[in-house]
Amino acid sequence: METLAERSNLVLAAQTGDPAAITRLLAVCQADARRYARRHCQASDVDDAVQESLLVISRKVKGLKAAAAFSSWLFTVIKRECRKLERMMFSTEELDEDKVEQQLVCRADNDLRIDLANALESLPAHYLEVVLLRDFEELTIAEIAERLEENPAAIKSRLHRARELVREYLLAPAAGSDTAQKSQAKNTTRRAP
């Protein structure tokens, strides 16, 4: 464990652009960065936030005015990256509910079932797993978190994202027409002599 003076000297050396000092500084501050990220990020975003933050630090450490301010600067960079990742995760364009309802009502029940099955099949495994546990096995978030040995907040986040992906798939212009085209192709194939 380095002392405060040793870390200050390392920061000063990194500010001069010394690649070895920058590499050492990033290695030394990685544990702090991870700890800060766990407090401010969704569990699934911790690694990304740490990686992005260390990249920012490596590029901008030269501009740090005081070596003693490094820890608070690190904390600020991590917090900013966590917020950025959260905004990216939850940024979705608002949909006109009447338009959504109209799109779904226009489809035949069988086509809608096929599209839903295709949407679920298109999900990455870690998203599909939480959707199946929540919506088909009807487990609570706490039960899913316990079964998967994960944080309930991470499960909520993953479930939200999975449902958004399914919704996007179902509302994509090609989803309904794709099912119709497949049905039409099947019917055409059956009629052929």
Question: What is the rounded distance in angstroms from the CA atom of residue 29 to the CA atom of residue 64?
Answer: 15
Task: At 182, list the tokens.
Answer: 């497949």
Question: What is the rounded distance in angstroms from the CA atom of residue 185 to the CA atom of residue 178?
Answer: 10
**Among candidate residues 135, 161, 159, 166, the one with its CA nearest the CA of residue 145:** 159
Range(s) of the chain covered by CATH 1.10.1740.10: 4-90
**Residue 64 DSSP SS3:** coil
Fold classified for 4-90: Rna Polymerase Sigma Factor; Chain: A (1.10.1740)
Mean pLDDT of 81-99: 68
Range(s) of the chain covered by CATH 1.10.10.10: 97-191
pLDDT digits over 124-163, tens only?
888 899 999 988 888 888 899 999 998 888 888 888 888 8
Question: What is the rounded distance in angstroms from the CA atom of residue 109 to the CA atom of residue 169?
Answer: 16
Q: Are 21 and 14 in contact (CB under 8 A)?
A: yes
**What are the Cα distances from residue 64, in Å, to 5, 7, 53, 73, 137?**
17, 14, 14, 8, 52
Mean pLDDT of 100-118: 71
Question: What is the rounded distance in angstroms from the CA atom of residue 23 to the CA atom of residue 13?
Answer: 11
Fold classified for 97-191: Arc Repressor Mutant, subunit A (1.10.10)
Is residue 103 very low, low, confident or very high in pLDDT (cuts 50, 70, 90)?
A: low
Secondary structure element (H or E) that encloses residue 72, with its range: helix 70-90
pLDDT digits over 137-146, tens only?
888 888 999 9
**DSSP codes joined into one string, 131-179:** HIIIIIS---HHHHHHHHT--HHHHHHHHHHHHHHHHHHHHSHHHHHHH
Task: At 136, list the tokens.
Answer: 């088909």
**Among candidate residues 45, 16, 13, 46, the one with its CA nearest the CA of residue 31:** 46
pLDDT digits over 12-67, tens only?
888 888 899 999 999 988 988 899 888 888 777 888 888 888 899 888 888 888 87
pLDDT digits over 170-187, tens only?
777 644 444 444 443 333
Q: From the centroid of its chain, how far is CA 39?
A: 16
